[in-house]
Chain A
Amino acid sequence: MSKVHKDFYGALSCAFQFLDERYGVDILDKFLEQVGRNCYKELISKINQCGLLALEEYWRKIFTLEGGEFEIFLDTDSITLELRKCPAILHLKSVGYPVYKDFCRQTRVINGIIAGETGLGYSVESYQEEARCIQKFWRIK
């Protein structure tokens, strides 16, 4: 059975803070781009094979396992995730870990890599203080 150790969110936030402080935000982005390319290969491959359904399956699995409150809207050309309660930000706040000032940057950068590798369009509206975001991918005609 899969385990969820939510304190990892705290280490992640700390890692972003480290990269920003020591090397600057451009290097943080460069790192996140590398994460997108190397750690999301399997998801990218599934999207290229199965289309937007692969994203639906991925989001449902991750946010169910980690306890997010969300809704997914799928049609033939696009998919939208409305994440109403982000499990990461809520955990960081509840435990009292520092939240990196642009914690949601990771989603914008990594989704950009996923979109680039799959030929999809994408957008991310993040509201970090409210622990929510809207992520969208769509087919480019």
Chain B
Amino acid sequence: MISCTEFILAYNELFSFLDENYGKQAVIGFWEYISDRFLTNLDQLVGEKGIVGMKEYWTHTLTEEGAEYEMKVTEDEFEIFMKECPSVKILNNSKVKKYPNYCDHCDLLYRRVIEKYGFTYDYEFIDREKGICRLIVKRAYGGKDV
């Protein structure tokens, strides 16, 4: 059984496996698939509660993953400043070869869920090697008001 603590290594390996055998488009195809099929809990939370749902989702996941981060939540904005991404930390502490575009999955997976509910979604990769990034979500004009 691939354990939770080993999952990130296998996830990273899958990105490399798909890219090496089928190209970058196959990796993107996987990210789209997992966003649509697996992030149903985030989809439901954002659909029902908007920004409050985002706060609920990421507070749960980032706490369980042991992330070091700051979260800012207002009525119209949601921001996560990731000081040390737990996934990147696991990869850096392992001997596996990190997929060069590993961080990109966070941009695609969550953007696909959030934008459809009338929010803008910006991802800034500050330092991919250290796992520092910033996610900023804003309510777009006419966006869902829940």
- Taking CB atoms, residues of chain A closer than 8 Å to B58 are none
Interfacial residues of chain A within 9-30, with CB under 8 A of chain B in the complex:
9-12, 14-15, 17-19, 22-23, 27, 30
Q: How large is the interface on B (under 10, 10 to 19, 20 to 34, 35 or more residues)?
A: 20 to 34
- Taking CB atoms, residues of chain A closer than 8 Å to B22 are 23
Q: Min CB distance, A2 to chain B, in Å? A: 6
A3 within 8 A of B: yes
> Are B29 and A4 neighbours in the complex by a CB distance under 8 Å?
no
Q: Min CB distance, A94 to chain B, in Å? A: 14
Interface of chain A, main secondary structure: helix
Q: If the complex has contacts A3-B64, A6-B4, A7-B61, are A15 and B9 also in contact, measured as CB distance less than 8 A?
A: no
A5 within 8 A of B: yes
Q: Which A residues are closer than 8 A to B by beta carbons?
A: 1-12, 14-15, 17-19, 22-23, 27, 30-31, 34-35, 38-39, 41-42, 62, 65-66, 83, 86, 88, 97-98, 104, 106-107, 110
